[in-house]
Amino acid sequence: MLSRVLLVKKFIVNSAILPGGMDPMACAVGAPKMLMNAGVKDAKIKSCYCCGPEGRVVFVAEAENKEVLLDALNKINVPVASVMEAEEVKPKI
């Protein structure tokens, strides 16, 4: 029996300016749970950053591809300005 192996990629997500009633801190803190409550299993938020004065949030997320991630964020109504595939690099000290 063949098993399907999913390759998970890492992405940096910059939100668009959040709507007036959406608190950036609450969005950053609540997004992982909102994905879980929406039944999203193929995209995960690994860390969140709140950019309160700008009214934006930034996520480090994992998904199979960009489209899967965008679909997941759309399900929880997070407006997205940009998504970049990224690779973590550790600096040599």
Instruction: Give the CATH number of domain 9-86.
Output: 3.30.70.60
Q: What whole-number distance in Å separates Cα of residue 39 and Cα of residue 35?
A: 6
How open is the CA angle 56-23-86, to the nearest 5 degrees? Answer: 30
pTM of the model: 0.85
Note the pLDDT tens digit of each residue in 24-38. 999 999 999 999 999
Note the pLDDT tens digit of each residue in 2-27. 455 568 999 999 999 998 888 999 99
